[in-house]
Amino acid sequence: MNSRRQFLRQAALGAAAISTIPSLLRGAGEAPASAAAATAPQPAAGAAGRLLPLVDWHSHIVTPGELHFLSGRPQAPRVFTDSQGRQLFENVTTVSSVARGASPTSPSDIATRIRHLEASGVQRQLLTYTVAIGYDATLPVEELRPFFRGLNDELAAIVRAHPDRFLGVAALPTTDPVWAAEELARAHKELGLIGAALPLNAFATLESARTLAPVFAAGQRLNSHFFIHRAPASPKLPGQPPLIVPTDIESVRWSVISNTHLVNGALTLGLTDFLEPYPDVSVQVIMLGGFLPYLIDSIIASGPKLGIKDPLQRLRRIYLEPGPYSGSNSDWVAYAAAKFGADRILFGTDYGVGGGTATDRLTPSLAKLDAALTPAQRQLIYVDNTRALLKAKGIS
């Protein structure tokens, strides 16, 4: 079994070798052995030999079962049908996002998603439920257990139907870490999933993160990949950030709140000793860990005060992934590659947000990143890091 330490070394070797050459939301059973043992994809070459990513590590789906569950709820989060016969999703305000007007929703169109993968040349996507909705913070755990179990069954069915196109991570509640650890084991052993999606604010503080020790201990045994997405966690976890609803320049202030939450979660996971007992899990923090790349120099300078010999290398136990920044802020990705290291960044797009039939975020994201990154950075972010991570997960 490859540990994080092993593939850190592999990534460093790969980098050295390369440097020597010039809306909102997005379908049960045992997964076949072929899904877990699928052959790792080879890098594809697009137009004019352009390198293409092996996996889009950030995408979301909406399942029919998810909408059915939400349709049975009398209050938000819920799905209802309006007077015009439209199916609408209504959420509640959380510490991570404000609830706006109800928006149209539908189950994800998997055929369209596959066409987008084919058109862009991206070979696979990691599928997750839409973590940012904040179910973990707004639904009682008695509802979350059967709801998340059903979501995981549906997600596994999609992966099972298209093993060459999709990977999947399970939905887990932070309110009941013991049950969540059991569901993580089921996700690996029965469903063919590779890990779990968790809300970022569960890692707002080290005290909060430690409540998830049962989940990460199970992940260590199972060689799990944890997808950490911006979202509120259970309010029962200690150290949760307060609810602040901006009343002026709202969109800008929400961006500051979001990026602050992201960097706090990334620091807990990367800079504290939380991950020490779990060297074989892999951890991915979306949206580049918020402000993290811009704080690298300050973090390095604080090393002696923190008693940490090499803060940057400690932080590099996690993977960063740009999500929507791939297309909208590709220069931020380039900055993160320079400061954090391109060998610890995965390609991701945040595909699937905005309804059932998602807009193709893959092609424009690639165009922006191709222009912003060097050939060596693209080789790492598009291909080498994914190849090492898939190998570490037993997909060879």
pLDDT in tens, 36-81: 334 445 555 554 467 899 999 999 999 999 999 999 999 999 999 9
Residue 2 clears pLDDT 80, i.e. is over it: no
Q: Which residues contact 39 (CB under 8 A, 6 or more apart)?
A: 396
Percent of the chain with pLDDT over 90: 82
Give the CATH number, domain containing residue 59. 3.20.20.140
* Tokens read off for 289: 């860990």
Q: How confident is the model at residue 20 (pLDDT cuts 50, 70, 90)?
A: very low
Measure CA 217 to chain center: 20
Helix (H, G, I), strand (E, B), or coil: what is residue 136? helix
Counting Cβ atoms within 10 Å, is residue 335 exposed (0-12), middle (13-18) or buried (19+)? middle
Helix (H, G, I), strand (E, B), or coil: what is residue 177? helix
Residue 247 clears pLDDT 60, i.e. is over it: yes
Q: Which residues contact 84 (CB under 8 A, 6 or more apart)?
A: none
Total tally of structural domains belonging to the chain: 1
HEC string for 186-240: HHHHCCCCCEEEEEHHHHCCHHHHHCCHHHHHHHHHHCCEEEEECCCCCCCCCCC
Domain range enclosing 366? 4-392
pTM, to two decimals: 0.88
Per-chain mean pLDDT for the chain? 88
Measure CA 76 to chain center: 24
Alpha-carbon Rg for the chain, nearest whole angstrom, is 20
pLDDT in tens, 140-157: 999 999 999 999 999 999
pLDDT in tens, 186-229: 999 999 999 999 999 999 999 999 999 999 999 999 999 999 99
